[in-house]
């Protein structure tokens, strides 16, 4: 180590002016799996989540994209019932419309 020179370490990207940085969960060793349930009504977003969760290993992080307002209650409830970790939700508005991204880490 050279005196006066900071050691390299993790850095946070600097957001561009006018943009709000989005927080995504740390996926760890498993890739982020996207479940696109936009346009589907209850109970289909949770059914799609359960189907993909059955195909993924423990530790995987799933991102469920949904437009159905019922998913805001249904996805956290599914996580509690199945003992999975609900990491949070983020609302998004873009050229393809509004949706919410729900993040779930599979525990086992």
Active site residues: 42
Q: Rounded CA gap, 74 and 89, in Å?
A: 12
Helix (H, G, I), strand (E, B) or coil at 52: helix
Beta-carbon-side half-sphere exposure of residue 56 (alpha carbons within 13 Å): 25
């Amino acid at each position: 180590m050279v005196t006066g020179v900071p050691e390299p370490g993790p850095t946070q990207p600097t957001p561009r002016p006018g943009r709000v940085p989005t927080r995504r969960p740390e996926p760890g060793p498993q890739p982020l799996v996207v479940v696109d349930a936009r346009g589907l009504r209850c109970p289909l977003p949770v059914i799609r989540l359960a189907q993909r969760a059955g195909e993924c290993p423990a530790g995987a992080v799933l991102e469920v994209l949904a437009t159905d307002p019922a998913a805001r209650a249904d996805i956290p409830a599914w996580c509690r019932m199945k003992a999975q970790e609900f990491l949070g939700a983020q609302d998004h508005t873009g050229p393809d419309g509004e949706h919410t991204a729900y993040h779930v880490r599979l525990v086992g």
